[in-house]
Amino acid sequence: MGVSLMQQPDKVYDVIIIGAGPAGTTAGLYTARAGWKTLLLYRAEADGALAITQKIENYPGVPGPVSGYELLKTMREQAKKFGAEFVRGKVIATDLKSDPKKVYTIDGREFRGKTIIVASGAMERANKFKGEEEFLGRGVSYCGVCDAAFFKDQPVAVIGDDDYAIEEAEFIARFASKVYFIVPGSKIKAPPEVIEHFKKLPNVEILLRHRVIEIVGDQVVKGIRLKDLETGEEKFLEVNGVFIFLGGTKPSVDFLMGQVEMTDGDCIVVNEEMMTSVPGVFAAGDVLCNEVKQAVVAAAMGCKAALAVDKFLSGKEKIVPQW
Ligand SMILES: Cc1cc2nc3c(=O)[nH]c(=O)nc-3n(C[C@H](O)[C@H](O)[C@H](O)COP(=O)(O)OP(=O)(O)OC[C@H]3O[C@@H](n4cnc5c(N)ncnc54)[C@H](O)[C@@H]3O)c2cc1C
């Protein structure tokens, strides 16, 4: 299982922002408005902490209540108006020492940037399921685009509870004979129209309130053991593949591959100008493990990081505010 790497021919962005939540989008609005060629990469449309927030009424200037996703869409439109490019793609690796710096997405694309802002939030899973590591690459996968075709006309399980998981599951459902969509909680955190569309797919069965006990097999995956939290009943589903797209509360930093200084808890260390230990690499928002996790704070950090990028790229002596 795997993908080959394709290059974006010779295009170099001034800044690549990883994440399109309030931190990344605000950063993109500022860098694009300052005239820097700006690219934002994100995993799925309604992905990230703000995008899954059902109701927000404490964002200044937006009396609301509005859904977090509606607020985010307005922010993104504003950034696009100034020329920021938004591209869907889960970042899985980076080369921060090269010049320009390189960013790789799970579908095999390579993007190049003179600077990087990491704004990928803190929704990574901390714990693994029993059998997950054992069967990784032998039925367990974290990438629909890469691996769905291996499960043509076979039953699979997809574990997740948000828009990102649904987008992946819809792609997988084009190949698999049956997709069991396993949701640990009682709700899917995605826009209602997305859920409605997903429910209509004939080969998809949604199992709400089902906890994964174990992924089982011999050489390859043969099935998955679940507990129905509604009835207490244990179930075994015969599947050949298990795709996992669940989130948690850990910073999303795997793609940095230890290239920047971090604390023990995977929190990126930044200076007063939001720059990491690698010159030209900045970070903003929940990914920094800040105590106050609020959209307005993430947006403010995105602004600071963007102005620091402006200083870095233009060689100015100090940060200059935008008027
Ligand atoms: C349930 C809930 C309710 C909340 N309610 C409020 C509220 O009422 N008011 C308030 O102010 N705050 C609220 N918050 C907090 C607020 O949503 C967060 O502090 C804020 O969204 C953080 O912004 P961020 O940009 O750092 O990260 P996020 O909003 O989490 O965005 C992260 C971005 O990174 C992308 N990403 C992640 N990994 C990758 C990768 N590998 N490759 C590419 N892209 C990636 C995601 O797709 C997403 O675009 C709430 C949070 C939650 C979870």
Q: Are 219 and 192 in contact (CB under 8 A)?
A: no
Which single residue is written with the structure tokens 């394709």?
A: 6
Catalytic residue among 107, 146, 228, 289: 146
In the chain, where the domains are located? 6-124+249-314, 140-244
Catalytic annotation on 146?
yes
What pLDDT shows up at residue 97? Answer: 94
Number of Cβ atoms within 10 Å of the Cβ of 78: 16
CATH 3.30.300.20 fits 6-124+249-314, yes or no: no
Query: Is 289 labeled as catalytic in the residue annotation?
Result: no
Residue 198 contacts residue 221 (beta carbons within 8 Å): no
The pLDDT tens digits for 195-206 are 999 999 999 999
CA 306 to CA 282: how far, in whole Å?
9
Cα–Cα distance measured from residue 119 to residue 6, given in angstroms and rounded to the nearest whole number: 24
Q: Which atom of ligand 1 is nearest to the CA of 254?
A: 41
3-state secondary structure of 282: strand
Compute the distance between CA of residue 256 and CA of residue 292 in angstroms, rounded to an integer: 24
H helix or E strand, kind and range, residue 192: helix 192-199
Q: What residues line ligand 1, using a CB cutoff of 6 Å? A: 18-24, 41-43, 47-50, 53, 56, 58-59, 90-91, 119-121, 123, 252, 255, 285-287, 293-296, 298
What pLDDT band is residue 64 in, cutting at 50, 70 and 90? confident
Measure the CA dihedral 139/143/146/147, to 10°.
20
- The angle formed by the CA atoms of residues 159, 160 and 163, to the nearest 5 degrees, is 140
| CATH H-level, domain 140-244: superfamily | FAD/NAD(P)-binding domain (3.50.50.60)
Tell me the average pLDDT across 214-229.
Answer: 97
Q: How confident is the model at residue 4, as a pLDDT?
A: 43
Percent of the chain at pLDDT > 90 equals: 90
**What is residue 146's predicted lDDT score, i.e. its pLDDT?**
84
Q: Are the folds of 6-124+249-314 and 140-244 the same?
A: yes
**Top-ranked range on mean pLDDT: pick from 51-55, 104-108, 298-302:** 298-302
Residue length of the chain: 323
Of 185, 149, 182, 140, nearest in space to 165 by CA: 182
